Chains A and B, each alone.
Chain A
Amino acid sequence: DIVMTQSPDSLAVSLGERATISCKSSQSVLYSSNNKNYLAWYQHKPGQPPQLLISWASTRESGVPDRFSGSGSGTDFTLTISSLQAEDVAVYSCQQYYSTPPTFGQGTKVEIK
């Protein structure tokens, strides 16, 4: 199985500041035939269903604010919240779907400083 490792486990950021989360995979999730990275990001707020934010490493889902962006390729990926809002307090998880079984990172908790 592909192991997904996120860092940090938690971070506290001031409102309006940038939050950056790293996700590394134990092997490349870039499919050479279509040049796509099989990497998704999720947001999970307490008491709410987890929400798919980004697929294909950088494609935002419909309705996701543009302050959320995904980047990276191969084995190293980043989720950036450009200007943290109070409603962004949540746990963020990355997930690879390059191979079965799909596997997730351990999650990163984002809080307000």
Chain B
Amino acid sequence: QLQLQESGPGLVKPSETLSLTCTVSGGSISSSSCYWGLIRQPPGKGLEWIGSIYYSGGFYYNPSLKSRVTISLDTSKNQFSLRLSSVTAADTAVYYCATTTIAAAGTLFWYFDLWGRGTLVTVSS
């Protein structure tokens, strides 16, 4: 059974880069059946999609974060990772890993059918 587990620093200083890793278990990150994504939820606010990556390296980012976001794969560790640069207090959030299954005929519909439990990242000096 596919599972996702986030791991992150807990605390990041303003202007630094947030790095977070999602570990995939029960399946291979090299699977062609889904995109691997990241979603966050700031305290008291709604969820925000950050971006998603495919095993081949293809990716989609939220335009609102695109200039600061990099999502990458490490197939040897069955992990994917987020780097978010120049963080501010507004980047304080619970960060989730999530999958988007590719439908028949390769069609992509951006809803999220499996999630991790999330990890809180606080930006503060």
Using a CB–CB cutoff of 8 Å, the interface residues on chain A facing chain B are: 1, 4, 38, 40, 42, 47-52, 55, 61, 93, 95, 97, 100-107
Contact = CB atoms under 8 A, between A and B. Distances in A.
Nearest to A93: B47
Interface of B is mostly: loop
Given A93-B47, A95-B47, A52 B62 contact: no
A55 B47 contact: no
A97 B108 CA distance: 10
B49 A107 contact: no
Nearest to B47: A104
Determine the interface band of chain B, counting residues with CB < 8 A from chain A.
Answer: 20 to 34
B57 interface: no
Contact of A97 (B48, B98, B110): B110
A27 to B, nearest CB: 16
Given A101-B62, A101-B64, A93 B109 contact: no
A107 B4 CA distance: 23
Contacts of A49: 4, 96, 114-118
Interface string B95-110: 0101000000000011
A100 B63 CA distance: 9
Nearest to A6: B46
Nearest to B46: A106
A25 B98 CA distance: 23
A68 to B, nearest CB: 16
A104 B115 contact: no
Contacts of B98: 50
B46 A104 contact: yes
Nearest to A103: B49
